[in-house]
Amino acid sequence: MLDGDWLAETGTEIRGVLKVMVDAGWLPGGTAVVGTDSMWEFVSVGGIGEAAGDHPAAPDVRYDVASLTKVMATWPLVGRAVAEDLLGLDDPLGAYFSGGPYPGGQVTARQILTHTSRLNPVTWLERYVGTEQDLAEAILSEPLDEAGHHYIDRGFILLGLLMERLLGDPLDRLAGELWSMAGMPSTTYGPLPRSSSVAPTERRIPGAAPTWGVVHDEAAGLMGGVAGHAGVFTTAIDLGVFARDLLRVHADPHGHADPFAGYVHQSWRPQIPVDERFSRGLAWLVTDDGLVYHHGYTGASLFLHPATGRYVGLLTNAVHHGRKRTGLFDLRAAVRASLSQ
């Protein structure tokens, strides 16, 4: 299928699924970017929530992307540290932190990126509130869990803290520099002012205001809204820029000499089988037919197909009416199917 036909067909499919979800009251609305190397189009349906006067969803509205933070902030910064020889993917992380020895001291960045680190799978950080123990050392001090693939936020929290140590700046500043160089001016960590340009997420307590302009993830909230696993806000425009730039890095025939390009190639190859449908690369999920993707709990997703140079970014506040997130699986499945054509 020609790229132009694919864009039109995929945009129509996403618009139709989003309209069903909005009409059913499952979410206020959402926006998507559908693109290739040379063209893109945007789809927006519904509003951003009654708290904002149900302002229309739009490509320039910022959404909390939740776990897309892992691949939009922490993963590329790890790639930078690797390219600058500041970090080895297979080096024990205990070597980078004072004190110890820690039970988690032998965990490596590669194990964290493939979610095989054996770190505590429970993200709960409340137990550390009011203590004097450094958070990174507290995470490393926990007993290791059983071996295998387990989706673990703590690993990316730890990598975010490590990037601050290795690269010499706070995580939000490091990521902000990366996004600025990529031409993504609307991508940022919060907090953001409550306005019609920011989509509110969940109303956690009936009668109270929704979470709006501050991170939805509770653990990231305890960390001031800046964490390696959650906390980033972005727009469909910036998400498209991010996707397009990564695909260009991957496709560059001269990129083999670029350490970061090598890191991208390695990240998008299967590293750890998860089930019969997909494997884990470095941070990303990878399917047998070459689709690379990641999701965010709030209702965000980014899908990349390196073989064709096509991509789809989804931004919704699917948690706005609660955590059932009805219809989100079908929306994501429709996108996966469109990219597998």
Kindly write down the DSSP assignment for every residue of 239-260, as one continuous string: HHHHHHHHHHHHH-TTGGG-HH
Task: Give per-residue pLDDT as tens, 197-249.
Answer: 999 999 988 889 999 999 999 999 999 999 999 999 999 999 999 999 999 99
* End-to-end Cα distance, the chain: 8
Mean pLDDT, all residues of the chain = 95
Parse the chain into domains and list their residue ranges: 3-67+186-339, 72-171
At residue 255, the pLDDT reads: 67
Cβ burial 148-187 (10 Å sphere, 16+ → b, else e): eeeebbbbbbbbbbbbbebbeeebbebbbebbeebebebb
What does the pLDDT average to over 25-31?
96
**Cα 210 to chain center, whole Å?**
22
CATH superfamily entry for domain 3-67+186-339: DD-peptidase/beta-lactamase superfamily (3.40.710.10)
Neighbours of 65 (CB within 10 A): 32
* Element (DSSP H or E) covering residue 45: strand 40-46
Question: Which residues fall within 8 angstroms of residue 208, CB to CB, at 6 or more apart?
Answer: none
At residue 219, the pLDDT reads: 96
Its pTM stands at 0.96
Phi, psi of 331 (to 5 degrees): -65, -45
Give dist(CA 136, CA 162) in Å, integer: 8
At residue 256, the pLDDT reads: 67
Task: Give per-residue pLDDT as tens, 74-122.
Answer: 999 999 999 999 999 999 999 998 877 899 999 999 999 999 999 998 8
Task: Give per-residue pLDDT as tens, 135-191.
Answer: 999 999 999 999 999 999 999 999 999 999 999 999 999 999 999 999 999 999 999
- pLDDT band at residue 313 using 50, 70 and 90 as cut-offs: very high
Helices (H), 50-186: 69, 75-83, 109-113, 135-141, 153-167, 171-182
